C-alpha cells in the first residue's frame, strides 16, 4: 500500500507538512541556550582527557615514556594500545584500523596515547610531556607517487559499460587531460567531543557528538570487550557534522570510555581545533586522468576515467566514497561506453573520510571540467555540449551502472535557471565587458546536477522510530536520525504532527538514543528525512489506527468516518479532543506506543561489478554563477548565483532553502579558498582559521537567488513525496569554479580552456591567468 494512503482524509489538507516551520532549536541557538555536550553540567570527579599525537609522518614506534606526564600533579592515567581492554580496532567497515598506534606511526597526528587528568589544562600540558621514541621512515605524501608504487588501502574498483577504448579510438575527436581536486576540512563549529559516564558492572553511557550513534555504540563495546547492550550512546544535537562525525567520533568516544571504564569516573574528551584538524580526516583529494571520444557535434561516445583518491593511512570510508565518485562521473550526461576505475591510494596523511557529497562532488567536478575543456577545443558553447549529451530518449536513459534515469528533470531545472538567471542577456553583457576590461575580467557558467539518493550499500537504507502518546495528549518522539543543524528533527516532528493532526508543539523531540532505537544507520547520504520520517510515520500511523477504533466506539461512529483535524477527533456529528481520546485509550487499555521501521524498497547493488540500482531516486538542480577576477592579483569574487533545486514536494521549504544556501557556500569554499597544505615532512600547516580560509559572510554572493522547483512531487513513494536536500546543492557550487575558468578563458576570447585546478585560490587563478596569456601569445590551440 502507498505509504500516504494510510493517512486517509489527511491527504486532502495538510496541517503541517509543506509549511515553513522554524528549526526547533532556532531560538535556543540565538539565545545561547541550546545545550551541546561541552555545555552539559560536569559530574563530580570528572576526568578530562587529551591526546598524544605523532609528530612524524611515518616511523617505527620504539617506545613511549610517560613518566614526566604521570609525575605532573593532577594527572590520573596515561593509556596506550596495551591498555585497551578489548580490541584496538575502530575500522568502520573493514578491520585493522587501530585506535592507538602500536608499532608504527603513519601520519602526523596519529594517536599514540591519551592522558586523563583533573582538568583539561593539566591533561593538555601532560600530553606534551609524553616522550615518543620514533625512528623516522620515508613517507609517501603524494597520491600519484602512491599510485606509482602501487600503495593502496583497498582493492581497485572498476566500472565498465561497453568498450570505451574502442569507442574512443574510433571517435571523430579524442581528448585527454588531468584534473587535480583538493580536499576539504569539515570545520564544524563544535569540535569532536565525547563524555563517558560509567555505570554498574561495566556499563557506560556515552554522550558523543556523532552522526552515527549505533556505530559508536558497537565500536566502544568492541574496544572495551563488552556486549553492545552495555553501551548506551546519546546525542541531542551537534554543532555541525558534514560527514566528519560519521566514523571518527568512534575514536574520541572509545578513548573517553576506556578511561571511564578503568577508573570508574566520568571522562570528557574534547579536541582543540589544532588537534582536531591534525587527527581527523577530510574530504578526499583526487587526481583524475581522463580520455574522451566525441562526435564532431560534441556527442560523447566513450569516456575513460582513472580516479586516484587519497585514502590517507587507512581505508576508513574510502571504498564507498570511490563507489559514489564512479557512479557520479556521468552527472547528467549519457555515456554509452564507460571505463571508470578507482584506486584508494595509501599515503602517510590522516585517513580521509565522509564529507557532504561523499565522493559524488569529485566525480561531477571531473565531468563538468571535461565538458568545459572539450567544448572550447571544439569551438562550441559549453552549454550546447551539455545539452546534446543530457540523458533522454535520443541519447540514452540508462547510467553506466545500469540504473534507468526515470522522472528525468534535467531540462526542467536547466530551462528554469537559464530563464530566471537571464542567461542570454548577461552572457552578451559579460562578453562585452571582457572585450574592453583586461584587468578585471568576469566569468559566467551554468551547470546541472543529477545526484543519487540512498546509501550505496542497500543494508544501510533502513531506520527506526519510537512514538509514545501520553494520557494528556502530548507526544514523545525518538528516532535513529541525528540533528546537526540541518533541521531533521523539525521535519520528522512535522510528519508525526501531520499524522495526528495536532499542533507541533505537542510533540517532544528527544535526543537520539541507542537504548530507544537500536541498530540505526548514520545520518548521512542525504537520507535522514526519507528514512527517519518514514519510520516515524509508520509508528504514528500504527498508534493512530488503534486510536481510531477507540474513537469509533466513543463517538458511536464507523471507523472509516473518524476524522482527525485541528487537535480534535470527530465522527457521527460528535467530537472530542486529541487529549481526551488519548485518555480514553489508556482507560480502555489500548497501547499508545509503537516502534516503526522503514526499509527503502527496490534498491540493489552488485559491489563486484558496480552494477544495479543503488539509488531509490535522483534529485536535480541547476545553477548559474557570475564571478570577477583581478588578473593582477588572482583575487576573485562571486558576484551572483542563481539556483533552482528539485526538492520534490518539500516537507519544510524554509529549512530546505537554508540547506541549499549553506551547501552552495560550503561547496564554493571547497572549490575556491579552502586549501589544505602539507609541508615536505608531512605536517599539515593549515591548522586553524588563521591559515585555513573558510567562506565568510562577505564571500556569499551579493545577489543570491535560490528557488525550489515548483509542483514536482517525487516520482517515488517517499515520505509525502519529498526529496533529499542535504548534499545535492553543494555540487551546484561547481558553477563558481566553471565561471572562474570562463573568466580566465576570456583572455583568449573563450577559445582556450583554462588550466585551473581546484581549489581555485588566488595563487592558482594568477598562475592560470599567466599561463593563458602565454598560450595566447604562442598561438596555442
Please give the grid coordinates belonging to residue 92: 568502520
Q: How far is CA 779 from CA 12, 593, 645, 741, 772, in A?
A: 66, 75, 41, 19, 10
Length of the chain: 781
Q: Please choose, from the candidates 420, 441, 418, 416, the residue with its C-alpha nearest in 3D space to the C-alpha of residue 431.
A: 441
Q: Please choose, from the candidates 24, 76, 47, the residue with its C-alpha nearest in 3D space to the C-alpha of residue 194.
A: 47
3-state secondary structure of 7: helix
- The answer to whether 363 and 329 have CB atoms below 8 angstroms apart is yes
- The answer to whether 239 and 190 have CB atoms below 8 angstroms apart is yes
Q: Please choose, from the candidates 727, 214, 46, 487, the residue with its C-alpha nearest in 3D space to the C-alpha of residue 37.
A: 46
Q: Is 290 exposed, middle or buried (0-12, 13-18, 19+ CB in 10 A)?
A: buried
727 is catalytic: yes
Query: In whole angstroms, what is the distance from residue 746 CA to residue 704 CA?
Result: 24
DSSP symbols for 608-661: TTTEEE--SEEEEEEEEEEEEEETTT--EEEEEEEEEE--BS-S-HHHHHHHHH
- The answer to whether 517 and 479 have CB atoms below 8 angstroms apart is yes
Please give the grid coordinates belonging to residue 302: 566513450
Buried b (16+ CB within 10 A) or exposed e, 552-577: bebbebeeeebbbbebbbbbeeebbe
Q: How far is CA 134 from CA 101, 105, 280, 628, 735, in A?
A: 12, 8, 21, 49, 46
Q: How far is CA 587 from CA 468, 575, 580, 592, in A?
A: 16, 18, 10, 11
Q: Is 668 exposed, middle or buried (0-12, 13-18, 19+ CB in 10 A)?
A: buried
- The answer to whether 455 and 612 have CB atoms below 8 angstroms apart is no
Cα angle 229, 231, 236; round to 5: 120
Q: Quick count: other Cβ atoms within 10 Å of Cβ 380?
A: 17
Pick the catalytic residue: 97, 246, 626, 727?
A: 727
193-198 and 462-469 strand pairing: unpaired
Identify the sign of the CA torsion 353, 354, 360, 366.
negative
Rounded to the nearest angstrom, the gap between the alpha carbon of residue 530 and the centroid of all alpha carbons in its chain is: 15
- The answer to whether 540 and 594 have CB atoms below 8 angstroms apart is yes
Q: What pairs with residue 346 in β-bridges?
A: 312
Q: How far is CA 279 from CA 140, 213, 275, 424, 661, in A?
A: 18, 20, 6, 48, 29
Query: In whole angstroms, what is the distance from residue 23 CA to residue 655 CA?
Result: 7
Q: Which residues are catalytic?
A: 727
Amino acid at each position: 500500500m502507498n505509504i500516504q494512503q494510510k493517512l486517509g482524509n489527511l491527504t486532502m489538507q495538510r496541517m503541517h507538512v509543506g509549511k515553513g516551520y522554524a528549526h526547533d532549536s532556532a531560538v535556543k541557538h540565538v539565545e545561547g541556550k541550546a545545550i551541546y555536550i561541552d555545555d552539559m553540567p560536569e559530574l563530580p570527579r570528572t576526568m578530562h582527557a587529551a591526546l598524544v599525537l605523532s609528530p612524524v609522518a611515518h616511523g617505527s614506534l620504539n617506545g613511549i615514556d610517560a613518566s614526566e606526564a604521570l609525575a605532573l600533579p593532577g594527572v590520573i592515567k596515561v593509556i596506550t594500545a596495551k591498555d585497551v581492554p578489548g580490541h584496538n580496532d575502530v575500522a568502520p567497515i573493514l578491520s585493522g584500523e587501530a585506535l592507538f598506534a602500536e608499532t608504527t606511526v603513519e601520519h602526523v597526528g596519529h594517536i599514540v596515547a591519551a592522558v586523563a587528568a583533573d582538568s583539561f589544562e593539566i591533561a593538555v600540558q601532560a600530553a606534551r610531556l609524553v616522550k615518543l621514541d620514533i625512528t623516522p621512515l620515508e613517507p609517501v605524501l603524494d597520491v600519484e607517487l602512491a599510485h606509482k608504487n602501487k600503495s593502496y588501502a583497498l582493492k581497485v574498483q572498476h566500472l565498465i559499460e561497453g568498450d570505451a577504448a574502442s569507442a574512443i579510438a574510433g571517435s571523430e575527436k579524442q581528448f585527454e587531460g588531468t584534473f587535480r581536486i583538493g580536499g576539504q576540512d569539515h570545520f564544524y563549529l563544535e569540535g569532536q567531543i565525547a563524555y563517558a559516564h560509567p555505570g554498574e558492572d561495566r556499563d557506560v553511557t556515552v554522550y558523543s557528538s556523532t552522526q552515527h550513534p549505533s556505530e559508536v555504540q558497537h565500536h566502544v563495546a568492541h574496544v572495551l570487550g563488552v556486549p553492545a547492550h552495555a553501551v548506551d550512546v546519546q546525542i541531542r544535537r551537534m554543532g555541525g557534522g558534514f560527514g566528519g562525525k560519521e566514523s571518527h567520533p568512534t575514536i574520541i568516544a572509545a578513548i573517553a570510555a576506556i578511561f571511564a571504564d578503568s577508573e570508574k569516573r566520568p571522562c570528557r574528551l574534547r579536541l582543540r581545533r589544532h588537534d582536531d584538524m591534525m587527527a581527523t580526516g577530510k574530504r578526499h583529494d583526487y587526481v583524475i586522468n581522463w580520455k574522451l571520444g566525441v562526435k564532431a557535434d560534441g556527442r560523447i561516445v566513450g569516456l575513460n576515467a582513472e580516479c586516484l583518491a587519497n585514502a590517507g593511512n587507512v581505508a576508513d570510508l574510502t571504498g564507498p566514497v570511490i563507489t559514489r565518485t564512479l557512479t557520479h562521473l556521468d552527472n547528467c550526461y549519457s555515456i554509452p561506453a564507460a571505463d571508470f576505475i578507482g584506486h584508494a591510494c595509501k599515503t602517510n596523511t590522516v585517513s580521509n573520510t565522509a564529507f557532504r557529497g561523499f565522493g559524488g562532488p569529485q566525480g561531477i567536478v571531473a565531468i563538468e571540467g571535461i565538458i568545459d575543456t572539450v567544448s572550447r577545443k571544439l569551438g562550441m558553447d559549453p552549454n550546447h555540449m551539455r545539452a546534446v549529451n543530457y540523458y533522454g530518449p535520443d541519447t540514452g536513459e540508462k547510467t553506466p551502472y545500469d540504473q534507468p534515469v526515470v522522472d528525468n528533470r534535467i531540462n526542467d531545472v536547466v530551462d528554469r535557471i537559464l530563464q530566471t538567471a537571464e542567461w542570454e542577456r548577461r552572457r552578451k553583457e559579460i562578453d562585452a565587458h571582457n572585450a574592453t576590461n583586461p584587468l578585471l575580467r568576469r566569468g559566467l557558467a551554468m551547470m546541472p546536477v543529477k545526484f543519487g539518493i540512498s546509501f550505496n550499500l542497500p543494508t544501510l537504507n533502513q531506520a527506526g522510530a519510537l512514538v509514545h502518546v501520553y494520557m494528556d495528549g502530548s507526544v514523545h518522539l525518538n528516532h535513529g536520525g541525528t540533528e546537526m543543524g540541518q533541521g531533521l528533527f523539525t521535519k520528522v516532528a512535522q510528519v508525526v504532527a501531520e499524522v495526528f493532526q495536532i499542533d507541533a508543539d505537542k510533540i517532544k523531540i528527544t535526543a537520539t538514543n541507542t537504548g530507544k532505537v537500536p541498530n540505526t544507520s548514520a545520518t548521512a547520504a542525504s537520507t535522514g528525512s526519507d528514512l527517519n520520517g518514514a519510520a516515524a510515520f509508520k509508528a504514528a500511523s500504527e498508534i493512530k489506527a488503534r486510536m481510531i477504533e477507540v474513537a469509533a466506539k466513543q463517538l458511536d461512529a464507523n471507523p472509516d468516518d473518524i476524522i482527525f483535524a485541528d487537535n480534535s477527533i470527530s465522527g457521527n456529528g460528535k467530537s472530542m479532543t486529541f487529549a481526551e481520546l488519548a485518555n480514553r485509550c489508556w482507560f480502555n487499555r489500548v497501547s499508545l506506543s509503537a516502534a516503526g521501521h522503514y526499509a527503502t524498497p527496490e534498491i540493489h547493488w552488485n559491489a563486484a561489478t558496480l552494477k544495479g540500482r543503488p539509488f531509490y531516486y535522483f534529485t536535480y538542480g541547476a545553477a548559474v554563477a557570475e564571478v570577477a577576477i583581478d588578473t593582477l592579483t588572482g583575487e576573485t569574487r562571486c558576484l551572483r548565483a542563481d539556483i533552482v533545486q528539485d526538492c520534490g514536494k518539500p516537507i519544510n521549504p524554509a529549512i530546505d532553502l537554508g540547506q541549499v544556501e549553506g551547501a552552495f557556500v560550503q561547496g564554493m569554499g571547497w572549490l575556491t579558498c579552502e586549501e589544505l597544505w602539507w609541508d615536505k615532512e608531512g605536517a599539515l600547516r593549515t591548522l586553524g582559521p588563521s591559515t585555513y580560509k573558510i567562506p565568510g559572510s562577505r564571500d556569499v554572493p551579493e545577489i543570491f537567488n535560490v528557488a525550489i522547483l515548483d509542483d514536482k512531487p517525487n516520482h517515488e513513494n517517499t515520505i509525502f513525496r519529498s526529496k533529499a536536500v542535504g548534499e545535492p546543492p553543494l555540487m551546484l557550487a561547481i558553477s563558481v569554479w566553471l565561471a572562474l575558468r570562463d573568466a580566465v578563458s576570456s583572455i583568449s576570447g573563450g577559445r582556450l580552456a583554462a588550466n585551473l585546478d581546484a581549489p581555485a585560490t588566488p595563487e592558482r587563478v594568477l598562475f592560470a591567468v599567466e599561463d593563458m596569456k602565454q598560450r595566447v601569445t604562442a598561438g596555442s590551440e
